[in-house]
Amino acid sequence: MCLLLCLVPTTISYVTTTMQPSNSTFAIRSFEWLRDHGAASIAVGVEDIYYSLTAPAQGGPGLRSLPRRSGGARAGALHPPNIPPLIAPALPGEGIWLPSESWTGASPPIQTTQFRSDPSYPRMVAGVSWIDTARTTIALYPGRLEPSVSLPRGPMQVPYSLRGRLLATFNSGFKLQDSGGGGFALGGRIYAPMKPGLATLLHYTDGRVDIRTWSRADQLPAAVDFARQNLPLIVDQGLPNPNLGDGPAWGVTVHNAVRVWRSGIGVDARGNLIYAAANNQTVASLAKILIRAGAVRAMQLDINSYWVSFITYPHPDAGSPSNLLADMNRSASRYLAPDDRDFFAVYAR
């Protein structure tokens, strides 16, 4: 009888969690509940075993063409240097930046490309996006469930009133509890304490964006509009973090050396953003992708196929949404409806 009584609060918690509004599958909500209620180490162990068993084999036949591309077919008048391919001969379009849309003019502020990121895995393709921060505005939106702190949730999706200027949306970082104790600030107010030593995506009130290691006390400068932390930097001064092999530094989630979907965001020497995502990546290989694309500082964002999304909108008013990579798991309409996780949106200025 005592055992049954002890199970009542657990059962109520599980049922409440899985029955509340969500755009995640029942299996994902169940797994997340286990992770949040004392079974994180078990969940990580199961994930590690699964991904180790399904890890890709080295070598094998190479690709004859890149996967389906999003965006326009002609190079813009303004774009960053094309990414030199790592595998010869290069595939058509490999490493060449193409506009994500054409409705903003001759030099769209978001350009995307794909390239094979590792000669040992010739079928592995990374998707990269360059965001001109001088001609865009970046916004951070809380999700329905994350961050799991008390704050104004807002629309939890791209607001209808702003969709006329929407260029792209992309996933944020880990859940705060898995982010190394990372902080979250929005509208100039801290909702989860900022932690020194962690990588931080900063948006300033004048529109500038930066990615840096947080070095201040738990205090937000007046010029910062929002800040999102997630683990230490994986790239600094154009070089990989020398501690990428240190498992405990990378949060309570899939270990850093396990090959899985990973995403990251970096800043280049001119202050523009570079987003990268690919399947079957370690933390170290993700860092290499970002460096090759031009990042001088970068941080890891969320991982696993269910959470990684970068979506562009080739037509005005969020028309014809398209995933950066064809094998991204989630619908390209993901952030046009309330989402469980916080996310970023990019608008034309």
Mean pLDDT of the chain: 90
Tell me the range of 3-7, 212-216, 271-275 where mean pLDDT is highest.
271-275
- Express each pLDDT in 95-105 by its tens digit: 999 999 999 98
In this prediction, residues 216-239 reach a mean pLDDT of 93
In this prediction, residues 82-94 reach a mean pLDDT of 94
**Confidence class for position 298, pLDDT limits 50, 70, 90:** very high
Q: What is the pLDDT of residue 136?
A: 97
Give the start-to-end residue ranges of the domains of the chain: 126-348
In this prediction, residues 56-61 reach a mean pLDDT of 86
pTM of the full predicted structure?
0.92
pLDDT(128) > 80: yes
In this prediction, residues 106-110 reach a mean pLDDT of 91
Question: What percentage of the chain carries pLDDT values higher than 70?
Answer: 89
In this prediction, residues 299-313 reach a mean pLDDT of 97
In this prediction, residues 39-48 reach a mean pLDDT of 72
pLDDT(47) > 80: no
Distance (Å) of CA 50 to CA 19, 53, 183, 203, 237: 27, 5, 30, 37, 35
Q: What is the pLDDT of residue 73?
A: 58
In this prediction, residues 63-91 reach a mean pLDDT of 81
- Express each pLDDT in 187-198 by its tens digit: 999 999 999 999
Q: What is the pLDDT of residue 4?
A: 61
- Express each pLDDT in 233-278 by its tens digit: 999 999 999 999 877 777 777 878 889 999 999 999 999 999 999 9
φ, ψ dihedrals at 176, nearest 5°: -55, -35
In this prediction, residues 321-348 reach a mean pLDDT of 97
